[in-house]
Amino acid sequence: MLNSHRPLAPHLTVYKLPLTAVLSISHRITGILLIAGLFVFFALLVALASGEAVFLTVQGFLNQWPIQIMLAGFAFSLSFHLVHGLRHLLWDLGFGFEGARLNTYALWEVWLTLVVSIVAIVLI
């Protein structure tokens, strides 16, 4: 039988991850989402190269609001992944590792991501 007096490890919901950890996990997730988005993008390119009738069908499909929301999510994922990748490049150069400023830089990253993604969504 199992010993009921054994200590239990706390569940993950007990921990409060720092902002930098949340951004790191989000960077990995957006990378996976971008790969999936690229497969969809290439499928759309093949469909568009198939002729005018298919082009008009795909154009009508892309103008539906659920697809527009997905495109906005893709733009947000792309801008976040880009901005966080630039932050990694700065880290590789030795900038941005000051302990007191890590959260400040993380907040700048979030705001810059929002600005870049809003600009991208407006241009779509």
Given a cut of 60, whether residue 63 has pLDDT beyond it is yes
SS3 label, residue 42: helix
Look at residue 24 in the predicted model and tell me its pLDDT: 94
Is 75 or 6 the better-scoring residue by pLDDT?
A: 75
17 DSSP assignment: -
Three-class SS state of 15:
coil
Token pair recorded at residue 117:
């993604």
- For residue 84, is pLDDT > 90? yes
pLDDT in tens, 103-119: 899 999 999 999 999 99
* Confidence tier at 10 by pLDDT (50, 70, 90): confident
pLDDT for the residue 48: 85
pLDDT digits (tens, 9 = 90+) for 90-106: 999 988 888 878 889 99
The whole model's pTM is what?
Answer: 0.80
Identify whether the C-beta of residue 75 lies closer than 8 Å to the C-beta of residue 34. Answer: no
Query: Helix/strand/coil (H, E, C) string of 19-33?
Result: HHHHHHHHHHHHHHH
**What's the gap between Cα 79 and its chain centre?**
7
List of domains in the chain:
19-123 (1.20.1300.10)
Cite the DSSP H helix spans in the chain: 19-48, 52-62, 65-92, 102-123
Residue 3 confidence (pLDDT): 64
